[in-house]
Structure 1
Amino acid sequence: MANTAKFDRRDVLESATRLFWQKGYHGTSTRDIQQATNLKPGSIYAAFGSKSGLFNEVLHFYAESMAGQLSQILSQHSAVTEGLRAFLHHVILEGGDDAPSELCLLAKSLSELEEGEAALLSETRKLLAATEQRFQKALAQAVANGELPADTDTALAARQFQIQLIGLRSYLRATGNKDAVASLITQLFR
C-alpha cells in the first residue's frame, strides 16, 4: 500500500508561502521550513522533492492566489477599470497588514534568484508574464465595454499596470506612505 501524506498540502503551502515571502528563498533554511510547516525533512522531501521544489509550488500557489483575488474583485465591480483600481488598493493597502512583506513575492523572488537557479528564475518570469496576460485580458474587456479608448494598446497598458503594481508596492515598502500610494492608485485610469 502506498504511503499517503498525513498533512494538508494547502496548509503547508500557505505556511511556506508566508515564510518564503518574509525571508526570501536564500534566507529560508530547511529548519525554518520544518518549523513553519510542522513537517519533518523526510516528509518535505517526499512531498516536494527539495527546497527548490517546494519553492516552485509556493510561487504557483501565490500566483494562483493573486489570480483568484483579481477575478473575485473584478466580478464585484461593473466597470473593469474600477475593479483593477480596487485590486491595487486591496493588494497594496489592505493586504499589507496581513502580508509578510509589502513586496510582491514574484518580484521579490525575481530580484533574489540568481542565474544558477535558472529553473526557478524562468518559472518566476513565466508567472509574472501570465499575470500580465490576465491584466491584458481585463483591459481588453474594458476597451470592449467602452471604458477605455478603442485604440488602447492593451499589451502596453497591461505592462504599465504590472509596473504600477510592482512599483507602488516597492514605494510603499521604501516610504511607508500609504496616503501617497492611495492617491496614486486613485489617479489610475483618469
Structure 2
Amino acid sequence: MKSTKYDRQEAIHNATNLFWANGFHATSMRNIQQAIDMRPGSIYASFGSKEGLYKEAMQHYTAMSKARLIASVAASASPFEGLKQFIKNAVVGGQTCAPSNLCMLVKTISELTDDNAELLAEAKHLLQEMESAFASILVKAQQQDEVDTTRSPARLARYLQVQLMGLRAYARTNTDVEQLNDLIDDVFDNLAKSARSPKVTLKNAR
C-alpha cells in the first residue's frame, strides 16, 4: 500500500503535467479530479485551492528541472558540456517527452495577470532560481577555463535563460532537430567565445 506522502507527490506530479499542458485557466477542477484521482473535498483538504495545487505544481516542475540539470552535469565530461546537454534535452527532447515544449513557468507568466498575483510572483521567483542554478554551473565552467572568468556568471545565466526561452518557442514552429542543435551550438559557442579566442589588441595585431 502506498504511503500518504507518496500519494501526495504522485498527485502533484500528475497535476504538474496537466497544468503544464493546459495552463492554469484552461484546466478545470474536473480535469484535476481525473488527473490526480481525488475528489473535490480531498483536493481542497490537501492543497487548499486550485491555486494552492498550481503553486506546488510549479515548485515540483522547478525541482524536476534542477534535478535534470544536476544529473546532466554529473554525466558529462565537464560542467559546460553538461549544461549544453541539459539545454539540448529541454529543446529537442522536450518535443516528444514533455506535456509541452514550452517552459511551464514561462507559460504561466505569459498567461496570468495581476488577478493571480501570488502565482505570477512565484513563477518569476522560480525562474530566477533556475537562472541562479545556471550561474552556479557557469562558475564551475569558469574554474575549468571553459568560460572567460572576466564575464559575469549572472549575466551569462540571464543570456542563457533568454536563449532557452526563445529556442523552446522556436521549436514549436521548426521540428528540424539538426537545425535546432546547430542553434544551440551557436549559443554555447558564444558563451565560450572569450575563453577560446583571446581578444586581439593593437599590439598583437601588428
TM-score normalized by the length of structure 2: 0.87
Task: List alignment gaps of at least 5 residues for structure 1.
Answer: none
Q: Does 1:75 align with 2:79?
A: no
Deviation for aligned residue 1:5: 4.7
| 1:94-143 deviation digits (Å, cap 9, x = unpaired) | 23212111100010111001111110000000000010001011111111
Q: Which residue of 1 aligns with 2:12?
A: 13
Give the whole-Å Cα distance in 2 for the aligned partners of 1:86 and 1:58. 25
Q: Which residue of 1 aligns with 2:170?
A: 171
Alpha-carbon spacing, 1:53–1:132, altered in 2? closer, same or farther (3 Å): same
Conserved in 1, the CA contact under 8 Å of 2:163 and 2:187?
no
Aligned residue type for 2:9: R
Give the whole-Å Cα distance in 2 for the aligned partners of 1:28 and 1:15. 13
Task: List alignment gaps of at least 5 residues for structure 2.
Answer: 190-206
Q: In angstroms, what is the RMSD of aligned CA positions?
A: 1.5
Paired residue total: 187
1:16-165 equivalences in 2 (<5 Å): 16-165=15-164
Question: Could you say which structure has the larger radius of gyration?
Answer: 2
Deviation for aligned residue 1:6: 8.7
TM-score normalized by the length of structure 1: 0.94
Deviation for aligned residue 1:91: 1.5
| 1:143-186 deviation digits (Å, cap 9, x = unpaired) | 11111112011111000111111110000013333332111112
Deviation for aligned residue 1:7: 6.8
Identity of aligned residues (%): 39
Conserved in 2, the CA contact under 8 Å of 1:85 and 1:188?
no
Give the whole-Å Cα distance in 1 for the aligned partners of 2:102 and 2:146. 29
